Every structure is written in C-alpha cells, then in structure tokens.
Amino acid sequence: MTTPPVVAFAGVSKTYGNGTLALDGVSFEIASGVIHAICGENGAGKSSLMKILFGLEQPSAGAVMIDGEAVVIASPRIAAAKGIGMVHQHFSLVPSLTVTENIVLGQEPRRGALIDRAAARQRVIALAERYNLHVDPDVAVRTLSVAAQQKVEILKALSRDVRVLILDEPTAVLTPPETDELFERLRDLRAAGLTILFISHKLREVRALASHVTVLRAGRLAGDAPLSAIGDDAIARLVMGQAARPEPKRGDRQAGAATVTLEGVSLAARDAADRLSGIDLAIHAGEILGVAGVDGSGQRGLVSLLTGRLQPSSGAIGYHGEPVAGLGTAALRRRGLAHLPADRFHDGGSKRMSLIENAMAGAHRLAAFSAGPFLKRQAMEARTAAMIDEYNVRAPGPRAPLSALSGGNAQKLIAAREFATEPRFLIADQPTRGIDVAAAAFLHERLSELAGRGCAILLITADLDELLALSDRIVVLHAGRIVARMENGPGLTPERLGPAMLGLEAAA
Amino acid sequence: MIRSALVSLVVTAILLVLVVGIVLVPIAMRLPDPLAVLDMFVFGPFRNPRHAGNIVEMATPAMLCGLAVAIMFRAGMFNLGVEGAFFLGGLATVATVLVVPLPAFAMAPVGLLVGAVVGSSICAVPGYLKARYEASELVSSLMLNFAALFVGLFIVNYFLRDPAAGAMVSYKIPVDARLPRLVAGTRIHLGTVVAVAACLVGAVYLFMTRGGYESRIVGLNPSFAAHLGLPIRWITLRAQLIGGLIAAGAGGIEMLGLYQRFSWQSLPGNGWTGVVAAILARDNPILIIPAALFLSYLQVGGDLIARNFDVPSEAVGLIQALVLLVVTSSAIMRNPRLMRLVQGRGGAARPAEPKAVERSPA
C-alpha cells in the first residue's frame, strides 16, 4: 500500500474580492518527508496557495487534501491542528518578549493560574536541542539578528508538532553564510521526518536544497517535476514563460569624470553596523560601482552619508568636485541624486497613498505638475499612467494604493519615479531583493541603460550574481572599511569575493 | 477614498445608535412614558426650528475645530491644543473689540484676526517645541491648554471684568462687533457659513495643493518624506500653525456669534468635540461637516430629555462618554497613525497582515 501524499491540491482556484484571479485550477501533490520547492515570480500565486494551506484564505474552488482526505482549513488554528506550520517572510514575533516567551505564546505551560516559566524554558531548550537550532532562550527577540529571529520563528512552528513546515522566501533576509546554515538545519528537519515546503525564486537555492519543484506562473501550474529530471534552464523557462533570463549587457560604456568622491570619510555612529572609517572612493560618470559586503558592514552608514541624512565625522564628500558638507537630502537631490532605498515600503513610498501620489512625489513641484500652490492632478495621473506603462507595472490603475502592488511591481514604480529625474548619481540599495526574476531583469536593464547615459551608479547588493552581472568595479566593505577593490571581469567569482566579505583576507 | 470613509462613517453612526439605545432604553423604561423620552431624544431636535437651529449653532465650532485637528493629524501631529486655542482665541477676540478703538465695520474682522493669531500660540508653541527639541506635541499641548485657561481667567478678572455684572464676566461685546444672524427664530450666524466654507477650502488644501500633499506624505510615512528630502520640521510646524489659527478663529467666531460677554469659566469643550468630529470623519474635511452636525444632534437631543424629563444629566453625560468611546475605538482599528501613537511611536514596525475573510461565491 502506498502512503497518500501528505498534502495535495486539487483544482484550487482563488479569486480575490477585487477580481484578481490569483490561482486558476492548480493541482499537484507533495510527498511526505521531502523538501519540496515552489517557484514562481511575485504574483504567480505562491503566497496565495500557501495562505490557503495555512488557513489564512479560503479557496474559491477546488480542495486541499491532507493525507488523502479533503479538508476545510478555516483558520491557522485548524492548520496547526492538522500539523501545518508556516514561517512567514515577515516575522510575527513580539520584539520585547524573550525567545522563550515568544515560542510558548498561546500554549504556555501552566502551574495553576500562573505560567510555569521553568517548564517553558526547559521545553524551548529541549526543542532547540532536538532540532539543532541553537538560540539563547532568555534574551529579548529584538536584540537578535534577523537570522536568529528566523530560527525562533522556526522553533515556534516546530513547537506545535508540525509535520509540514512552510517557509516563505526564508533566505530573502539572510546573508550567504546564514543561508548555508539554514539549509543545514532544514536538511536536519527533513531527516527528522518533516515535510518542508520551500518557497523561493532563487534557482541556486532550490537546486541546493529541494528534491522536487513545482513552478507556478500567473496563477497556473506551469510545471511539476523531480529536480533530478529538470535542468535550470527549463525551470527558468517555466518561471518566466519565455526564453531564459536575459543576461544584462554591461556593454562598452566608458567611465567618465568622478561624479561623487569620498576622501577619508569616517562616520562615528551609535550602531556599530553603521560605522565607517577612512573610506576613499570615487564613483565615476557612466560606471556601476558594486559594493559587496555582509549585511551590517557599513552599507547603511554609507547610504546615509551619500543621501545627506547624516554628516561624516571626518573626511569630505564631493559632488562633481564640489564639497557638499552640511547639505541635506533636498539639496543633494537638486544636484542630481536619486536613490532606490533598500526597504522599499518603509522609505521608498507610502503604502496607503495612491500610485499617483507615490510616483509624483518630488516631481510635484515642477511646473508640469503644479500651478502656483495647486497640483495639476490630471497631468499627474497621466504621467503616472505613462510610468506604469513604460515600466510594465502590473497595477489595477494609477489610483490604486501602493499596498495593492506586489514587491516587484512596487519597486518598478519607485524606480520609475527615481529614474525619471534623469539622475547623475544613483544609489541602488538592494534594488531587486525579494522581487521576481522578470522584474529584476527589467530593473537590471534599466540600471545598465542609465549608466550608459552617463549616470554614476553605486550598487549595494547582497546578491552576488547581480553584483557580478552589473558592476564595472567592485569594492568590498567589511567592518566599515574598504578591504578590497577589484575590476569586474570573467575571472571574478563569488568564491574570490567571499573571503574579503568575511574579513578573512585583504584581497588584491 | 471619500467613499470608503463614508462607509466607515455610516458604520460608526449605526454603532452609535446602538450604544445610545443601550443607555437610554433602561432609563426610559423607569419613567411613566418611555416612548416619549426616546421620541424626544430622536425627533425632538427637529420639532422646532429653535432646536434645529441649536444643532447648527453647536456644529459650527465643532466643524472648525474638527478641521483644525484634521489638518494637524494629517501631518502626523497629535496636537490637542485646539481646546486651549479655542478658549484663548475667543478671549483675545473679545479683548480686542473691547479695548482697541476700532470703526464699527472693522471690529469683527480685526478682532477675529487678533484672536486667531493670539490663540494659535497654544498649538504653535508645542509645534515649535516639537520641531526644535522633539518634545511630544501631545503632552505639551495638553498641558498648555490649562496654562491658557488660567492666564485667560486672570486677564478676565483683572482687565476685562464688568463689576456691574455680578459674575466673573467681561464687559458686553459691542453690538457692532457681533456676527449677523442668518435665520429668523434661530441663532444661526455668519460663522456657520464660514465654517462650511473653511471645511471645503480645507479639503482643497489637503488634496489639491502641494502643501497639503507634502503634509500628508509626512503624516503617512515620515521615512518616505525624509527619503524625498522634504522639510519635515517645517511641514509639521506649518500644519500646527494652520490648525492653531483655525481653532483660535473658531473661538472668536463663537464669541461674536453667540455671546453677549466673555463668560467661560473653564475650558468650553468645543475643541474636544472637534477632535471627536475629526476622528469620526477620518480626518476628511468634507465629512467633518456631517460628523459635526451628527454630534451636535446627539447633544441637543440629550439636553432636551435632561430638561424635560426626570433623566439625570449624568445619563446624558454617560451617553456622550460612550459615544466618544465608540468613535475613538472604531477609529483606532483603522487609523495607522493613531495605532502608532497608541503602540508607542517609532516602536517595532510590525507588518500587519490584514486578514481578508472571504467566502467563495461557489
């Protein structure tokens, strides 16, 4: 007798209230005890499907089967009772509570009316021991690194006796070494008999971890195969629905004069991760300068200085050869600065405002969009509609709120706004983090085009593929210092960048 | 967006009716004729033009104070100085028309202008302290309200008091300074027209001008405003200056429209009504007009039953308190800026995953 698949989707469809068809007759099975990857662009329906499995959404048609029986998962509580746990992309931890308190929250061991803290702590320690996920049970969650918080999330899910663990883009927030460690732990979990659903759009990770892959595209099942039977190109084609991802061309653009210079710049910040010391750097017109480095090596401080949010403790920053000491963001923007911020919803836009209001912020004072104190609202709407068209933003319309867009589409809209000023210096901070392959490829093309037109671009990214595909030169930041400078070329590989990023060697 | 705000306004209004019913029905049942009590509360305000006029009169300062609050809230500033600004604005207006020799036609405009400028300090000072020292505008404006009250009472007692009046009230406001009455049989005055017009202008300001747009960006997401390089301190201060001028002007209009003498012995509460009206209207200036009228309607109905039946005035107070709770609590569910304030500002940004509970249409 064969065991039925632990989870099976049978013709699952989902139509949202606003008419969006997120899933269209999706059917596939997940075998017990494997790591099963689900791939697809943003908006392909991965998240909707997982929300249905976790009881956050109800399917409009079709059924979910667990152990071969059709079940109605009306809430996450029922999902938990069926042994399904989920680690969300955005953690749902209480920052001020300790690790133990977060894990036992909602299922506290009691002694009379009181919480049995010793038992709770013991339970967490045992759990961490059993799954080899080590975290200090007594520290407040807010003091933990993102990777450690993710471990807490996983432990929290495991503490509910799960059989199926859903991980939604778990590596989006991790550095490469942290990703490796997470993968080790996930393999341990599989060895312990868990079924893991791994949602990702990074093919390399899927290949490294999973044994089976399901590809969704535009709400439909595009492919479903064991990884041993399908090549990377084939997966990429299924994800993109067209020829494999076009490699961005670095072309033969020529670097011109230095647009932005930093001489001996140091920053004494409260947070060690923001500190910089003795940075000498020039970003030239028409080049993309890549900044590699483990998260928290000073990238945030560098961005704060270059956008005028902070002033250096010593050293000088120049724009076009002129010192810009004391100038704020507005003054630097007038001198040609544009910025794609790392946290696109926190800094890059306002979720509750319309696409028009997000796209036109900053440009709204131009004569084209205002007359005296009044805004030319029709001109603003028309311009936004043109941007949506030009940047291929999938949106219900210019009046929709930014919150209606997926991460990739929001990023494209923000890029449209920032690039529209024809900047002379652009800071692209994690420009494609957490967005789908097609949107990322599109943004890469646009960045190359901008550089080709003479814009100086500082590219800060944790994605080494992106770094190597786009950059002309690369500097490596470690602990607030530049520890390596390299010309990009066919000989430069992630393996050569790694030691410098980890501060192991000062590469040539 | 005005449509969704209207929906929540209606939902809140229905909740209010339920709450009022819960308090009022048991009280009415004790009386010989319970239906008459309910009847008077619900329909009484419309039976007679004088009472209907009362609704409009009371709604006038509520509209202006609500507008002042909405403009400040939209910029993310929880400045509660409207109450003090209203009080001080009324006093400064009366003081000006009493003390400064002015030709008849100039009395009201000059008085209102001086009142608005002087009274606005109660919103402006916390705004400045916020911009300069990052002092919480909520705390400093609340405290300053009481400073306004006692400074005001001192001025009335020592400089404006009419010894012949037999109470701590000012000399009579000159007839020439008073605002013209508009509807015979009521006390509806020119100020109502000003208030409605101000709300319309306020909507234009917030949604159709550069200043209002920038102000809303700062209020909804200060980080985004910083990314754009907007002058955040100036924008928030400007919102509080505008709010203060409107609230203080409302105090002057109230005095010149309805009063014979300056007779407030405590903070009159119109500023607080304005806060409730703004929250009820989701900071939308146009919806503040119906919100203010609705709150005034409840007030007039409550006053009528307290006056005509053996209903303790505490019961009317209880109804008003519950109304406040319903209005503010249902707003807290939806207003992210209020949520931020409740949770502690700049606190851990937790991603809210709004759970859309939908049933399949099969």
**Inter-chain CB proximity B210 and A364 less than 8 Å:** yes
**Inter-chain CB proximity A377 and B226 less than 8 Å:** no
**Inter-chain CB proximity B223 and A361 less than 8 Å:** no
List chain B residues with pLDDT less than 50.
345-362
Mean pLDDT of A298-308: 93
Residue A96 to residue A74: CA distance in whole angstroms: 30
Q: What are phi and psi of A14, to 5 degrees?
A: -145, 120
**Inter-chain CB proximity B210 and A362 less than 8 Å:** no
How would you list the strands of the sheet with A322-323, edge to edge?
A276-284, A258-267, A314-319, A322-323
**Inter-chain CB proximity A90 and B208 less than 8 Å:** no
Is this complex scored with an ipTM above 0.95? no
Q: With contacts defined as CB-CB under 8 Å, which chain B residues touch A370?
A: 210
- C-alpha closest to that of A59 among A102, A16, A116, A95: A16
Q: Which amino acid is at A109?
A: P
Q: Which residue has the tokens 């003498």?
A: B261
Q: What is the pLDDT of residue B336?
A: 58
Q: What is the pLDDT of residue A502?
A: 67
What residue in B sits closest to A344 (Cα-Cα)? B224
**Inter-chain CB proximity B359 and A58 less than 8 Å:** yes
What token pair was written down for B33?
């004729």
**Inter-chain CB proximity A57 and B360 less than 8 Å:** no
Q: Are B63 and B292 in contact (CB under 8 A)?
A: yes
State the alpha helices, DSSP H only, in A252-376.
299-306, 329-334, 355-360
Chain B nearest-CA distance from A504, in A, is 34
| Candidates A95, A330, A339; nearest CB to B348 | A95
Neighbours of A122 (CB within 10 A): 14
Chain A nearest-CA distance from B219, in A, is 10
Q: With contacts defined as CB-CB under 8 Å, which chain A residues touch B353?
A: 56, 88, 90, 92
Q: With contacts defined as CB-CB under 8 Å, which chain B residues touch A421?
A: none
What token pair was written down for A356?
């028009």
What token pair was written down for B21?
């019913």
What residue in B sits closest to A401 (Cα-Cα)? B1
Q: What is the pLDDT of residue B4?
A: 59
Tens of pLDDT along A335-376? 999 999 988 888 999 999 999 999 999 999 888 999 999 999
Q: Residue A495: pLDDT above 70?
A: no
Q: Give the confidence band of A141 by pLDDT, cuts at 50, 70, 90.
A: confident
Q: Which residue has the tokens 């410098």?
A: A500
| Candidates A57, A341, A373; nearest CB to B210 | A373
Mean pLDDT of A175-187: 84
Q: What is the pLDDT of residue B342?
A: 54
What residue in B sits closest to A330 (Cα-Cα)? B229
Least confident among A275-279, A298-302, A356-360, B338-342: B338-342
Residue A45 to residue A28: CA distance in whole angstroms: 14
Q: What is the pLDDT of residue A246?
A: 43
- C-alpha closest to that of B219 among B231, B232, B210: B232
**Inter-chain CB proximity B221 and A96 less than 8 Å:** no
Q: With contacts defined as CB-CB under 8 Å, which chain B residues touch A88?
A: 353
Q: What is the pLDDT of residue B2?
A: 56
Q: What is the pLDDT of residue B334?
A: 58
Q: Residue A203: pLDDT above 80?
A: no
Q: Residue A113: pLDDT above 50?
A: yes
More confident residue, B134 or A174: B134
Q: Give the confidence band of A243 by pLDDT, cuts at 50, 70, 90.
A: very low
Beta strand pairing status for A258-267 and A114-115? unpaired
- C-alpha closest to that of B204 among B66, B338, B67: B67
Residues in chain A: 508
Chain B nearest-CA distance from A387, in A, is 18
Chain A nearest-CA distance from B208, in A, is 6
- C-alpha closest to that of A165 among A151, A179, A180: A151
Interface of A with B (CB under 8 A): 15-17, 56-61, 88, 90, 92, 95-96, 142, 307-309, 328-333, 339, 341, 346-353, 357, 361-362, 364-365, 370, 373-375, 377
- C-alpha closest to that of A215 among A26, A422, A15: A26
Three-state DSSP at A69 gives strand
Q: With contacts defined as CB-CB under 8 Å, which chain A residues touch B226?
A: 309, 329, 347
Interface of B with A (CB under 8 A): 208-211, 213, 216-217, 220-221, 223-224, 226-231, 336, 348-351, 353, 355-356, 358-361
Q: What is the pLDDT of residue A249?
A: 56
Q: With contacts defined as CB-CB under 8 Å, which chain A residues touch B227?
A: 307, 329, 339, 341, 347-348
Tens of pLDDT along B66-94? 999 999 999 999 999 999 999 999 999 99
A·B CB contacts under 8 A: 90
Mean residue pLDDT of chain A comes to: 86
Tens of pLDDT along A401-457? 998 888 889 999 999 999 999 999 999 999 987 777 788 889 999 999 999 999 999
Q: Are B247 and B271 in contact (CB under 8 A)?
A: yes
Q: With contacts defined as CB-CB under 8 Å, which chain B residues touch A373?
A: 209-211
Chain A nearest-CA distance from B47, in A, is 43
Q: Residue A503: pLDDT above 70?
A: no
Q: What is the pLDDT of residue B160?
A: 93
**Inter-chain CB proximity B221 and A349 less than 8 Å:** yes
C-alpha distances in angstroms, A102 versus A81, A98, A154, A256, B223?
19, 6, 11, 54, 29
**Inter-chain CB proximity B360 and A58 less than 8 Å:** yes
| Candidates A56, A92, A333; nearest CB to B229 | A333
Q: Residue A242: pLDDT above 60?
A: no
* Overall pTM surpassing 0.80 (yes/no): no
Q: Which residue has the tokens 């065991």?
A: A3
Q: With contacts defined as CB-CB under 8 Å, which chain A residues touch B361?
A: 60
Q: Are A414 and A434 in contact (CB under 8 A)?
A: no
**Inter-chain CB proximity A375 and B210 less than 8 Å:** yes
Q: With contacts defined as CB-CB under 8 Å, which chain A residues touch B223?
A: 346-347
